[in-house]
Structure 1
Amino acid sequence: MPPSEQLDTLVTVLDLVRSGISTRPEVIRRSGLGRKVVTQRLVQLGHAGLVTEGDLAPTTGGRAPRELQFHSDAGHVLVAELGATSISVGVADLAGRLLDQHEEGAEVPTRPDETLSRVAKLFDELMARRPAGGSPLWGIGIGVLGPVDWATGRPISLPTMTGWGDYPIRERFAEQYNVPVWVDNEVNLMALGELRNGLGQGERDLLFVKVGSGIGAGLISGGLLHRGASGSAGEAGHIIVAEDSQVRCWCGNSGCVAALASGSALAREGEAAAADGSSPYLATIRMGEHPRPIDAEDVVAAAAQADSAAAELITRSGQYVGKMLAGLVNAYNPALILIGGSVAAGAGDLILAAIRQVVYQRALPLATRNLRIALSPLSDRAGLVGAAFMVVDQLLSRKHLGRWIDNGTPSGRVDIIHASP
């Protein structure tokens, strides 16, 4: 393992090259390190296969420096996002670019063993499609529903996630694939994906809000993901937005935004609109020739067909989310709020307009003066991209890099996830 001071400068140089600083003189200028030290660290990173020197860079005079490039093909990572009703998997390079991906429906909340076995099978299929002799597997990143104990990679027990509480996800995949594994809440990873490779690039304070079967948030503060003291930061779905509501949330309270504005809430209210006839579109689905229960997608589709009752339900959902966000904006003062998830993606501008109206109306003018609220451009890819960056950032961090760089690869170094801070 490199000495402490050497490791500090090694990570500094690597981070600058990863951020796009492309010449040695610019690395020297940005880092404040001496030319000799920078040269030594670049040589070391070159031997490890992490940085390469390419063509001559443009110059306005004097000797042209060679361009530095982060070798994103040195390894690859497997990533997965487990939503309430779907499994998404992918393979990414070290720059967070998805090289291959797959998504399918699944009953995730009540089937941990079956779900994770399916994830492993899909991982194997992705790896089988990789070119022969390609880059090695360096790590695995997985996003799951609900809060996660970051230190252990185990989900926190929730009544809605039967069997998932304290499940050894990290150990299961580390043993099977012999690489380091990290696990986090899926919405945290969506926020990280947008920060690093989406609309959030360049922002230091942003919120990502997922409006899907449930509601959750990922918080970026000072350019870093904020997980909280016990991993439960971002459980915004349990902010109460209607004190007089009789709708009970699974957490035991009434009036939570998740119980009133999520996809599950839209399905419940859509059923009522079909039953009382206020929504002709939904009534046809519920009581037509081939009747079936109403889901959130039906409500979104009805609104798109100018069904006024369905449009009102989506608008009301957006208003509840806006009320929740107004409080967070006052307390947290983000520069950007991104709205994602299946409901938001389907309802689009209709729900976005309702959210914006309430936030700008209720939050303090100083907090909203430069605030942008937009739909997530990465959509269903945000969580996978974020999972890739979670793994790569950890592998190349000061905490972990020194434990494997002399070997040239973190493959087989499952022990590094247990490194002391």
Structure 2
Amino acid sequence: MPSDRYTGLAAVLEVVRGSADVTQPQIVDRVGLGRSVVAQRVAELESAGLVVSDGFGPSTGGRAPRRLRLHAEAGYVLGADIATNELVVGVADLAGGILATRQQEIEVVWGPEPVVEAVTRLAGELVDEVGARRSLWSFGVGMPGPVAHDSGVRVTMPTLPDWSRHPTREQLAERFGVPVWVDNRTNLSALGERRVNPVAAASEHMVYLGGGYGIGAAVVVGGRIHRGAHGLAGAIDHMPVPGAGDVVCHCGRTGCLEAVAGRAALVRDGRLLAETRQSPALAEVLERTGRIRPVDVTEAAGRGDAAARALLHRSATLIGRSLATLVNVFDPDLVVVGGGIARARAHVLAAIREEIYRSALPAATRDLRIEPSAFDQEIAGITGAVEFALGELFSPEHLPAVLDARSGAPLAEDLPA
């Protein structure tokens, strides 16, 4: 268990990280520590080069207090967002400001070796681009599907068995010489949401709808991500959904939410609408490209295609039914709709809201807010991965190693060529 000293240091640093500029008296008010203790902790963080002065705040009668900010330029962190069919890698400063990204189309079903090799290559390019070889501090990785947080290993699932046996965390740590943390990418998107969305940041109890290899949700309890005993909290994609029928899921069961409302379901059902010409817009896409993607269904609905709109409405209703279960169990005050479904918000948000209000307990929905993500979904995952890397790095558990490194040797050795 971290000592009171490191708990206090982490609390002070968290306040500084979360503020554009903050004074020492304001830190005292926010962390609940005495003035002399806060002064000591600020001095330690300044000595380590993590916090710097940035002018003066308004005086309340005496000497004007110094403004403090995180020394964002002191180092860099990497983030990677591994989605179902896309990989995004980014490099950021210590304030979480993303400096550069690389993107590549992948298929997670290829297996871990080619995907992790792509992560390594793109991350290496970014490190060289910003000159971070001697000042790289940590690496956060978002994986599709549930992850055992302590070990960073993907939870064994029948749909992607190879990933659960792959030492992703160890390979990246060895390659880049820094701590690597791995989590479910939906959890990381929720972290990013809380970082940039004031409404989400103020919520102590939140459910975030996202997606990895399927449909997933992140659950925030007491202001922190609730992962459960095995990293499976919020894994709604393989929950049986009333009214879903007997559609066979790729996990081998029937009636799973993923089988009737996920990415593969939209592709399957959208293609059927195109082939039977029930959807003229999707039929045109199929003839022109030879495939149907979820984005094609969304775009067809946006052009007024009735069949595409009906397909999205049905998916949204089934998703809302599953979210209602989480609302009943966890009693959140906020549900954020993110992930791929957020791109179709004009066609799905009302149906999700309606189904949650209809299916959840009235007491749980009395003051429940159901809102779209404040994020551009193209960067939600990578923003969350960077926030995850920084949050773990500056946590009471890991901050001692950071301070030790800052007092002597560099945190990371020069990366291999």
Give me the TM-score of the superposition, normalised by structure 2: 0.91
The reply on whether 1:351 has 2:348 as its aligned counterpart is yes
2:249–2:258: 8 Å Cα contact kept in structure 1? Answer: yes
2:309 partner letter: A
1:223 partner letter: G
SS across alignment from 1:278: coil
The reply on whether 1:171 has 2:170 as its aligned counterpart is yes
2:81–2:87: 8 Å Cα contact kept in structure 1? Answer: yes
Cα pair distance change 1:35/1:344, threshold 3 Å: closer
Equivalent in the alignment of 1:98: 98
2:378 partner letter: D
1:17 partner letter: V
1:79 partner letter: G
Shift of 1:152: 1.4
1:110–1:161: 8 Å Cα contact kept in structure 2? Answer: no
Question: May I ask how many residue pairs the two structures share in their alignment?
Answer: 407
Q: How does 1:8-407 map to 2 (within 5 A)?
A: 8-20=7-19, 22-130=22-130, 132=131, 136-198=135-197, 199-210=199-210, 214-242=214-242, 245-286=245-286, 288=287, 290=288, 292-345=290-343, 347-378=344-375, 379-407=377-405
Equivalent in the alignment of 1:416: none
2:88–2:102: 8 Å Cα contact kept in structure 1? Answer: yes
2:22 partner letter: S
Range 101-110 or range 44-53, more displaced: 101-110
Range 199-208 or range 320-329, more displaced: 199-208
Cα pair distance change 1:65/1:163, threshold 3 Å: same
C-alpha distance in 1 between matches for 2:379 and 2:107: 20
1:208–1:340: 8 Å Cα contact kept in structure 2? Answer: yes
Cα pair distance change 1:291/1:109, threshold 3 Å: closer
Shift of 1:228: 0.5
2:405–2:411: 8 Å Cα contact kept in structure 1? Answer: no
Range 198-207 or range 167-176, more displaced: 198-207
Cα pair distance change 1:61/1:263, threshold 3 Å: same
Shift of 1:142: 0.5
C-alpha distance in 1 between matches for 2:60 and 2:134: 37
What's the CA shift string for 1:300-328, capped at 9, x where partnerless? Answer: 22212211111100111111111111121
C-alpha distance in 1 between matches for 2:188 and 2:244: 34
Shift of 1:342: 2.5
C-alpha distance in 2 between matches for 1:341 and 1:121: 26
1:178 partner letter: G
Shift of 1:162: 4.7
1:153 partner letter: G
SS across alignment from 2:299: helix
Q: CA RMSD in A?
A: 2.2
2:82 partner letter: L
SS across alignment from 2:159: coil
Shift of 1:330: 1.6
1:54–1:67: 8 Å Cα contact kept in structure 2? Answer: yes
C-alpha distance in 1 between matches for 2:49 and 2:217: 37
2:205–2:222: 8 Å Cα contact kept in structure 1? Answer: yes
Cα pair distance change 1:71/1:308, threshold 3 Å: same
Shift of 1:362: 1.9
C-alpha distance in 1 between matches for 2:45 and 2:134: 17
Instruction: Identify unmatched segments of 5+ residues in structure 2.
Output: none
SS across alignment from 1:184: strand
1:205–1:221: 8 Å Cα contact kept in structure 2? Answer: yes
C-alpha distance in 2 between matches for 1:295 and 1:33: 53
SS across alignment from 1:251: coil
Give me the TM-score of the superposition, normalised by structure 1: 0.90
Range 83-92 or range 264-273, more displaced: 264-273
C-alpha distance in 1 between matches for 2:252 and 2:323: 21
Equivalent in the alignment of 1:4: 3
C-alpha distance in 2 between matches for 1:30 and 1:353: 38
Range 8-17 or range 75-84, more displaced: 8-17
Range 90-99 or range 240-249, more displaced: 240-249
Equivalent in the alignment of 1:419: none
Range 192-201 or range 232-241, more displaced: 192-201
SS across alignment from 2:108: coil
Cα pair distance change 1:178/1:243, threshold 3 Å: same
Shift of 1:182: 0.3
1:297 partner letter: V
1:364 partner letter: L
C-alpha distance in 2 between matches for 1:410 and 1:159: 42
1:53–1:68: 8 Å Cα contact kept in structure 2? Answer: yes
1:74–1:135: 8 Å Cα contact kept in structure 2? Answer: no
Shift of 1:103: 2.3
What's the CA shift string for 1:116-155, capped at 9, x where partnerless? Answer: 111111111112221x589811000111111112121111
SS across alignment from 1:374: strand
Shift of 1:243: 5.1
